Amino acid sequence: MSEEHWLAEVKWDEGNVFLGSDTSGHTVVYDSAEGVQKGIGPMRALLTSLGACTGMDVVAILKKRKQNLTSLRIFLSGDRPEHGLPKPWTSIHVKYVLSGASLDKGFVEEAIRDSTEKFCSVGATLQPTARISHSYEIVP
């Protein structure tokens, strides 16, 4: 192997199962929609990466605004072409469900907007090909 500095590695395990890891030793199991399904499919993993990226931003922004966030769940859905290859995401919807004592709606909207428009690198990577929309709900 060359002297290149790798940030991640993907190794075939068996069948359609692959193990993705980073230089810190964290591992993700990937699998296809066929067979045993020992892991998440790569395209759905891309959605979860978007959710985690923007979620980290939202948590950090609300903490900076001294909001008492106690729970955040992020639901993602998307559309892909039925025919042809490849089948990239063409649209993605991100729904944030937040809870916490006295969350300020304006701060929540600001956190989501700043994450989606300024900070989330995964979203910025996807936006040239996928239209990304969002909504939110504050629950008790």
Do 111 and 123 lie in a common domain? yes
Write down the pLDDT at residue 2: 59
Q: Are residues 35 and 61 in the same domain?
A: no
Its pTM surpasses 0.85:
yes
Q: Are residues 26 and 87 both part of a single domain?
A: no
List the beta strands (DSSP E) in the chain.
8-14, 17-22, 27-30, 68-79, 91-101, 131-138
Q: Does one domain contain both 34 and 87?
A: no
CA distances from 39 to 20, 26, 43, 60, 98 (A): 11, 15, 12, 29, 27
Q: How far is CA 134 from CA 67, 107, 116, in A?
A: 20, 15, 9
Q: What is the mean pLDDT of the chain?
A: 95
> Do 28 and 91 fall into the same domain?
no
Confidence of residue 36 (pLDDT cuts 50, 70, 90): confident
For residue 111, the domain's CATH number is: 3.30.300.20
CATH code (residue 5): 2.20.25
User: How many domains would you assign to the chain?
Assistant: 2
Task: Provide the pLDDT for residue 22.
Answer: 95
- Domain containing residue 56: 42-138
The greatest distance separating any two alpha carbons of the chain, rounded to the nearest whole angstrom, comes to 55
Q: What is the pLDDT of residues 61-74, one digit of tens each?
A: 999 999 999 999 99
With a pLDDT cut of 70, the percent of the chain lying above it is 97
**Segment 123-139 mean pLDDT:** 97
| Same domain for 48 and 33 | no
> Domain check: are 36 and 4 in the same one?
yes
Mean pLDDT throughout 90-101?
A: 97
Task: Output the pLDDT for position 71.
Answer: 98
